[in-house]
Amino acid sequence: MVSERGLAVLRAIVQDYVASREPVGSKTIVERHSFGVSAATIRNDMALLEEEELIAAPHTSSGRIPTDKGYRVFVDQLSDVRPLTTAQRHAIDTFLGEAGDLDELLARTVRLMAQLTNQLAVVQVPSFASSRVRHVELVHLDAARVLCILITDSGQVEQRLADLGDAIDAATIADLRVRLNDVAGGLTLAEAAAALSGEIPTTDPRHAAVLHTLAATLAELARAQRGDRLVVAGAANLVRTEQDFSGSILDVIEAIEEQVVVLRLFGEMAADSHSVAVRIGRENAPYGLAEASVVTSAFSVPGRDIARLGIVGPTRMDYTASMGAVRAVARYLSRTLGEH
C-alpha cells in the first residue's frame, strides 16, 4: 500500500522525468519539491515505490524513472487535467473556425492537436455505421442506365450510376425497386451491405443479372458510408521522441498505418471522470503499441456515430497537458458540429 507521501513522490518523479528525460534521485526531489523531509526519508519512499513496481532504475546507481504501472497510478490519481490557456483556446476557435467542411475541419483538427501536444495526432472520421436504410430509390435514366440512391434514417443520401449493359423497361425497374427495398429496408448499413451482396431471389430469372448489378451497386454505397478511417498528423513529433522508445518507432508507425487496429483500440477505450481515456505502454501490447501511450476523447456529429480523436506518443508524456488538450478539442468539435 502506497502512502499519500509516496504518491506525492511518484508524482514528483513523473513530472521531473517527463520534463528532463533524466532519471530522478532523492536529492533532486528534495531540492525541487517542498516535502519537508530529508533525502533519506525520500529514499525510503522511493524504495517502497520500487517494491510496488511503480518506479525502476534504468542503470546501476542511477535515479529512478516511472514504469508503465507508475504512469497508470499517476494518471488515475489526477484530480484534474491542465486547462488550456486563453491563447490556446483562441487558437482552437480561430484555426478550426476557418474550416469549410467536415473533411477540412478534421484535417485542421489533427494538425492543431499535434501542435498543442507535440505528439502524433489522430482523428476518427465519423461514419454512419449505425444508420439504417430508410429507402432505396432507382431512377431510370435511359434504356440501360439506372441511378441507384440509398437514403438512411439519418438523412444521408448517396447515389451511384449503374450501367446495366442491356436495355430494360421502367416497369421492371419499378418491380426491382420494391424487391431491393424488401431486402435492405430497415437494416443497418453493415447488414444491408451483407444482404445486398448475397443471393437475392427474383420472380423472373431474366432479370437476375440486372438485379445483381443494382444490388451490388447499392452494397458498395452502404459499405462506403460505414467504413471508418483515420486522419493523421504530426509524424515528425514521433520521430523527435525516438529516444524514448527502446525499440524502433517503425513498430509504432506500422501500427498507426494499420488503421483498423487503431480503430479497434479506440473502440475499447473507456473514458474516465475527465471524459478522457488513457492507455499506457503494455496495456497497448495487443495492438502493437507496447511502448506507446494513447490519449483519446469522444466527439459527436449529428446523424453519425460517436467518433474519437487522440494522440499517440511515448509513455514519457505530459499526461496532464495532453489530456486537457485532447478533451478541449473534442468538446469544441462536438459543440461546433452540433451547431451546424
Of all residues in the chain, what percent carry a pLDDT higher than 90? 58
Of all residues in the chain, what percent carry a pLDDT higher than 70? 96
List pLDDT tens digits, range 16-68.
999 999 999 999 999 999 899 999 999 999 999 999 999 999 887 679 999 99
List pLDDT tens digits, range 78-110.
888 888 889 888 888 888 888 888 789 999 999
- State the average pLDDT over residues 126-154: 87
pTM reported for the whole predicted model = 0.75
- State the average pLDDT over residues 237-247: 90
Res 316: pLDDT? 96
Chain-wide mean pLDDT for the chain?
A: 89
List pLDDT tens digits, range 285-312.
999 999 999 999 999 877 667 889 999 9
Domains of the chain, earliest start first = 4-76 (1.10.10.10), 86-127+228-339 (3.30.450.40), 133-226 (3.30.390)
Question: How many angstroms separate the CA atoms of 25 and 33, rounded?
Answer: 12
